[in-house]
Amino acid sequence: MALDSTPRRRFGVALGVVLTGVAAGLIGFTGVASAHTPKVSAECKGDTTTLRVNLTKYNGSQDNTVKVTDGDEVLEDKTFKTEYKKSFKTSGAVDHVFRVVVVAHDGDQYNVDKTLRVEKCVTETTTTTTTTTTTTTESSEPTTPPSETSSEPSETPTSSSATEAPPVPTTTTTTTAEVEEAALAETGASIGLPLGIAGVLLVGGGVLLFVVRRRSKA
């Protein structure tokens, strides 16, 4: 009996070890499977619409992808490892249609495709402007323009007879010598010849008078 019980005990211990390993593996697999935690939310508050994307505890052995759009506009398109956290703020004056798509590398069961519609929370106010028109009635009587006073001094025409003096006659005095000279000039004779003759006579008379006086003294 002792010999038969020993193999059974060994088999029981080995079976227990195997079952324990399988159970631990199942527990670990369940823990990993439940670790993917995607959280997506959006709200319009004040004058801003906010979208929040929070992805945690993903399998980071390979890349996971996330894409965020607002209508036709792409807000984000990138890869991440174990987590991704980001908030997107847009105008609260218009409606928004957000879409968040997550693709996990370790199984389609962890993928996310979620659409969030958020209505605008800002009410536009219309301002009415009143325009007052003032009509001015014009008189039918013509308006006489004010007389213009010229700043230029007026010129008084003056009579030529009053300002202009009669011409003064010029009197020319002619001397006798000038008359004789003019007469000689007209006859063609020169006054130099008679003067020369008179000079010779004076000299000769002087010499003759000197000779006579010496003779009388002798």
Name residue 125's amino acid: T
pLDDT for residue 196: 79
If phi over 0 gives left and psi between -120 and 50 gives alpha, with beta otherwise, what is residue 67? beta
Task: Delimit the domains of the chain by residue range.
Answer: 36-118, 177-217
Question: Residue 155 and residue 153: Cα distance in Å, rounded?
Answer: 6
* CB of 52 closer than 8 Å to CB of 42: yes
Burial annotation 126-137 (CB, 10 A radius, 16+ → b, else e): eeeeeeeeeeee
Question: Residue 77 and residue 96: Cα distance in Å, rounded?
Answer: 18
pTM: 0.45
In the DSSP assignment, the letter for residue 71 is: T
pLDDT along the chain (218 residues), means of 10: 56 59 46 74 95 96 97 97 96 96 95 96 69 55 52 48 50 49 48 76 84 76
pLDDT for residue 81: 96
Class of domain 36-118: mainly beta
Question: Residue 85 and residue 76: Cα distance in Å, rounded?
Answer: 12
